[in-house]
Chain A
Amino acid sequence: GENVGLHLPTLSVQEGDNSIINCAYSNSASDYFIWYKQESGKGPQFIIDIRSNMDKRQGQRVTVLLNKTVKHLSLQIAATQPGDSAVYFCAENPHNFNKFYFGSGTKLNVKP
């Protein structure tokens, strides 16, 4: 939504640079993770997901890394573009549990 970016950590990058957005998750039983992008006034949009049997997964210009030892997830965006400016959320799903838990998000600001 239009005010979802308030009070969020902000990452500012130059257009063309790579971006890394981090997320710490809380539940060691979580085995499925998703990154979402949310533009102002819109609903969250799926970017990429990863299951706990993997530590890296690549998509188009995006890579997700999972470190289960320290319960850390990161999203790497290559050659960041102005259209990548948005709030990014991670979500975790504990095994055999039908609920998702979302982080509060990071605002990515891409400077032209």
Chain B
Amino acid sequence: EAQVTQNPRYLITVTGKKLTVTCSQNMNHEYMSWYRQDPGLGLRQIYYSMNVEVTDKGDVPEGYKVSRKEKRNFPLILESPSPNQTSLYFCASSFSSGRMAYEQYFGPGTRLTVT
């Protein structure tokens, strides 16, 4: 089954404790992206990757890091989480021709609470 998986689905942590949220897709997609979703604000893009070893900032990258060492995986790293990073996080992937965008497939989400 074609899918995007994220782990963990729920995470409660404390300020300053480094964490990683994993994302994996089995569709051989070039493009992967991370979003956060907050009430009334819609989805906001944190980072995206056009392919292996190619990453770029989205609209809200502060406090986050990503890496793309393999095509299927795109982990999101919070080096020192703060309460304002409490949110619902989604990973997404899509095919990319380089010149045209295509529909993104989303993971089930990770609910992060930072106390």
Contact = CB atoms under 8 A, between A and B. Distances in A.
B76 interface: no
Interface residues of A, number: 28
Interface in B79-115: 88, 90, 96, 99-101, 103-109, 111
A34 interface: yes
Contacts of A98: 31, 48, 50, 56, 96, 101
A46 B105 CA distance: 7
B7 interface: no
A104 B39 CA distance: 9
Nearest to A36: B106
Interface stretch (A1-9, A13-21, A62-70, A74-82): A1-9
Contacts of B100: 32
A101 B101 CA distance: 12
B103 to A, nearest CB: 5
Secondary structure at the A interface, as helix, strand, loop or mixed, is: loop
A6 B39 contact: yes
A100 B104 contact: yes
B58 A42 contact: no
Given A4-B37, A32-B101, A102 B106 contact: no
Interface of B: 4, 31, 33, 35, 37, 39-45, 48, 50, 56, 58-59, 88, 90, 96, 99-101, 103-109, 111
Given A96-B99, A100-B104, A102-B42, 7 more contacts: A1-B111, A4-B39, A6-B39, A44-B90, A49-B103, A98-B96, A99-B45
6 contacts: A6-B39, A43-B106, A43-B109, A98-B96, A104-B41, A104-B42
Interface of A: 1, 3-4, 6-8, 32, 34, 36, 41-46, 49, 89, 91, 93, 96, 98-105
